[in-house]
Structures are given as C-alpha cells and as structure tokens.
Amino acid sequence: LPDDQNQPIYITADTAKIDDTTGITTYKGNVIIKQGSLLIEAAHVDMYRNDDGVEKLIAKGSLAHFRQQPNIGDPYSDAWGKHLLYHVENQKLTITDKAKVIQAQDTFTGNKIVYDLDKSIVNAFGGTNTDASGTPGRVNMVIQPKKKDKAN
Amino acid sequence: MLDLSNKIRVGLAAVILIPVLLYWGFASSPNETERENVSLLHGMDYFVETAVIKEWDAEGKLLRTLHTDQLEHYPNLKLSTLDKPESISIRKDYSKVKITSDTGTVLDDNNQTNLAGNVIVNDNPDSTSATILSTEQLTIYPNRDYAETDEPVNIVSSQSILKGVGMDIDFNTRILNLHSRVEGSHDNAK
C-alpha cells in the first residue's frame, strides 16, 4: 500500500547480529519481515539503518519471497529471487538470480527484475549469462488477457 | 657470688619450672582447642560501604568506575559481592557504557563479573541515541570488554526494539549477537 513505507517494520528470525558501527543488522534463519501490507520471507536479511530509519533491506534465500498489495482492493503482487534488494526510500525492489514477479496474474521472469512499487512498473532484464543452449538469458512475460466488462 | 646452697636452690627451681614453662608454652591445655576462624573459612574478611573503585590504564586514562552500596570480600572464595553496583566504562572513543544491577560478584583477578537482577546496560548514556539493554543476568569479562547471557534480552534504541534469548556483546567493536527467538520492530515513520 502507498503508506507501507511509513509503517513500523516487524521482524522475527532465529538469530540477529547488530553492528552499531556500520548500522547493519543481520537476521538469519527463517526471517519474516512485515511492514504494512509488505511481507519478506528469506533465510538471511541484512538491514541497513541510517539516522532516518531503515534505508534498505537485502534478502537472500534459496528463493527469497516478497509480497505487497499495491493499493487497497488490488490483488497482491509477489516476487521471488535468490537476491532481493528493497530500497525503502525510493520504493524500488531489485530482484536478481532466478527473478520472478507475479503482478495481477501477469508473470515476469528474467535474470534481473527492477520493480517500481509506487508505480507498479516491472522492468525485466535478460542478463548476460547464457542458458544451457548457450543463448543469453531471456525475459519471459505471460500477460493474461483482461476480461472485457460485460457492459461494453 | 652465689654460694653452693643458693646454686643448688636455683638449679632445683630451674629443673621444676622449665618443664612447666615448656608445657605451657607449646602444648595447649585440653579445653583450649584451636578455634577455627569460621568467618574466614566461608565468610568475609572485610567490607566497604558506599564503595567507589576506579581503574586507570597504563597511560593514566580512566577506564572504569564502579560504585556499589556495599562490597564484601570473601578471601576463600576469591571474590567480592556487590550490592546495587553501577559501573561506568569509557571506551577508546570516549563514549561510555553504564551498567547497573541489583547484585553482582567480582572475582579477585578481575577476570569476570557476574551481575544479577534488573541488569541494565546503557550504551552512550549521555546521548539522545542511547541504546538500553535489559536482562536478568549478565556475565562480563572486563579485560576483553565482552559480556554474555543465556537469559531473555530486551534492547531499546531510539528507532527500534529488539528481543531475543541469549546474547553476547563486544563493547569495543559494538557488535551484539542475539542467539535465538529474535523479534524486532523498527519505527520507520517519516
């Protein structure tokens, strides 16, 4: 939701390491992070704090998972990847390594996806690493046909 | 000059008295057993009320000040007990760490301090961005500037609250590890 970024961030995890000098707190083990409608689930999360609060979160996992409801009444958007970077300030989610986003039934996959949470814009990138057949990574999109309103 | 009879008399007196004196000097009489100093065996040998103990480093810089309502020293246990101790340590960057608790014990070799009851660790007590850690028991290793506990811990700072069970902290590198069951909330309102 638009106001998610101003909500408190709640975290549960198995362990935590707080480094007061760098401002980085590392959570490990079944990490669950909630902020309003936003949810992050990962094996490892590095939280970067500055004087204004939480600046960014880096989530890693066999696949880390991100979920958020863009607007009230909208379906949830889900994202997966081995490496998620959630920038709280500019509300951008960068997914790398097995990136996948499902937004309102449309599916995007690629090597890297940058998801603008404010505008709900998905930028997917194939990336340079090649797949088994030697062709560079590809972006795949599955856009579901939108049902026409019965009125028109 | 003593004439002969006197000499005999003195000799006789000596013969009689010397054993008695020796007996009296060395042997204890039956009812006088060596009284065990029970208070020393288990008890304290000295106490200090309203004690203030300061520690400086080799260059004369104040490292640590300990206040306690009552310090009791137990020689056979090689430790001192503290009542309502308050310790203020000064780091290399001159920031402070203030630690208070209901009770504590300090080993004579100062290698270990155990605090119990309402243990509060206040990191940077003089600043607005202080971090306050509270637990029920804490073991401190002053020479390593390191502390640990297996008890539940609560950490409150200006923007976050963190809880966990079991913790260790290095006061110099300012790295704290929560060992299990971590729960946290960070205020992110702009």
Q: Is the dihedral of CA B63, B110, B46, B85 positive or negative?
A: positive
Mean pLDDT of chain A: 85
pLDDT at A4: 80
CB contact, 8 Å: A19 with chain B?
Answer: yes
Decide if A8 and B188 are in contact by the 8 Å CB cutoff: yes
Residue A124: is its pLDDT beyond 90? Answer: no
Query: Structural domain boundaries of chain B?
Result: 6-40, 42-186
Search chain A and give the residue with CA nearest B184. Answer: A11
Question: Mean pLDDT for each 10-residue chunk of chain B (190 residues)?
Answer: 66 72 57 51 86 92 94 94 94 88 94 96 83 96 91 93 96 92 84
CA distance B187 to chain A (A): 4
Decide if B188 and A6 are in contact by the 8 Å CB cutoff: yes
What DSSP string runs through chain A? -TTGGGSPEEEEESEEEEETTTTEEEEEEEEEEEETTEEEEEEEEEEEEETTEEEEEEEEEEEEEEEE-SSTTSPPEEEEEEEEEEETTTTEEEEEEEEEEEETTEEEEEEEEEEETTTTEEEEE--S-B-TTSPBP--EEEPPPPPPPS--
Architecture of the structural domain at B42-186: Sandwich (2.60)
pLDDT at A152: 45
Lowest mean pLDDT among A105-114, A139-148, B89-98, B176-185: A139-148
Q: Are A72 and A48 in contact (CB under 8 A)?
A: no
Confidence of residue A5 (pLDDT cuts 50, 70, 90): confident
CB-nearest partner of B180 from A14, A49, A88 = A14
Distance CA A119, CA A115 (A): 9
CB contact, 8 Å: B154 with chain A?
Answer: no
Query: What three-state secondary structure class fits B21?
Result: helix
Question: A49: which strand partners?
Answer: A54
- B173: which chain A residues are within 8 Å (Cβ-Cβ)? 19, 21
pLDDT at A33: 96
In this structure, the number of other CB atoms found within 10 A of the CB of residue B26 comes to 7
Decide if B160 and A27 are in contact by the 8 Å CB cutoff: no
Decide if B159 and A5 are in contact by the 8 Å CB cutoff: no
Determine which helix (DSSP H) or strand (DSSP E) holds B166, and give its type and residue range.
strand B160-170
Query: What three-state secondary structure class fits B88?
Result: strand
- How many C-alpha atoms does B91 have within 13 Å on its Cβ side? 15
Distance CA A57, CA A49 (A): 9
CB contact, 8 Å: A56 with chain B?
Answer: no
CB contact, 8 Å: B162 with chain A?
Answer: yes
Tens of pLDDT, residues B90-127: 988 888 999 999 999 999 998 999 999 999 999 888 88
Size of interface A-B (CB pairs under 8 A): 83
For residue B18, give the amino acid letter.
I
